[in-house]
A and B are shown apart, each in its own frame.
Chain A
Amino acid sequence: DTAVSQTPKYLVTQMGNDKSIKCEQNLGHDTMYWYKQDSKKFLKIMFSYNNKELIINETVPNRFSPKSPDKAHLNLHINSLELGDSAVYFCASSLHPQETQYFGPGTRLLVL
């Protein structure tokens, strides 16, 4: 009965590889988000989708491409991974864009 789930939980990969992280929510929410939490623990918004449409895109390199196949899913694809991409990536959802957000457990990405 997990509300917001992410896969994988851990991801270790080499520089230059392409990887994807998946997110699913079963809360019936319209809005989904991707956040990055770096080693200094700052949690920063990357993207937000509402009803499958991109509404927030915060100065994220083009190597990051979100995809929302339906309202319940928001996946994150990262091309040409760099060392600086190592972080914890959190997915979140909310009923509408201005509502309280519910976070997933995070995906720990380590780029070697």
Chain B
Amino acid sequence: SQKIEQNSEALNIQEGKTATLTCNYTNYSPAYLQWYRQDPGRGPVFLLLIRENEKEKRKERLKVTFDTTLKQSLFHITASQPADSATYLCALRKRAGNTPLVFGKGTRLSVIA
């Protein structure tokens, strides 16, 4: 069966460290993968998109990698700050047609000062 797994339900790290979140998938051939941030009581906010033929994408302190052999994406936040505390969702879209975006359950990140 098709699955998207974000391995950690919760992750606590010290301010200033790099946070690394994992997204694994099985039985999908994604055209691309996205990462969203969701704060309590709010809707998800798009952060980054990485396509199947891309290895790495960066945006300010954020970095996403995509390994289609391992079927895994890693999401890094460098020099983390308490304001980065939120739930981070990965989502992938399959290649063909009008297919929906499928979300993982999310990882709740807490950055401790």
**Which A residues lie at the B interface, using CB under 8 A?**
4, 40-45, 48, 50, 55-56, 58, 90, 92, 97-98, 100-106
Contact = CB atoms under 8 A, between A and B. Distances in A.
A55 to B, nearest CB: 5
Kindly list the 9 A-B residue pairs having the minimum CB-CB distance in the complex, ordered from nearest.
A103-B43, A45-B100, A43-B103, A55-B98, A100-B46, A103-B44, A90-B43, A56-B100, A104-B43
Given A48-B98, A97-B98, A102 B103 contact: no
Interface in B55-108: 87, 89, 93, 98-103, 105-106
Nearest to B108: A41
A48 B98 CA distance: 9
Given A90-B43, A103-B43, A105-B42, A41 B106 contact: yes
Interface string B14-55: 000000000000000001001000000111111001000000
27 contacts: A4-B43, A40-B105, A43-B44, A43-B89, A44-B103, A45-B100, A45-B101, A48-B98, A48-B100, A56-B98, A90-B43, A90-B44, A92-B43, A97-B98, A98-B31, A100-B46, A101-B46, A102-B46, A103-B43, A103-B44, A103-B45, A104-B43, A105-B41, A105-B43, A106-B41, A106-B42, A106-B43
Q: Is the interface of B mostly helix, strand, loop or mixed?
A: strand
Contacts of A4: 43
A58 B100 contact: yes
Contacts of B87: 41
A6 to B, nearest CB: 9
Given A56-B98, A103-B44, A98 B93 contact: yes
A101 B45 CA distance: 8
A45 B105 CA distance: 13
A100 B98 contact: no
Contacts of B34: 100
Contacts of B106: 41
A50 to B, nearest CB: 8
Contacts of B102: 45
A104 B99 CA distance: 21
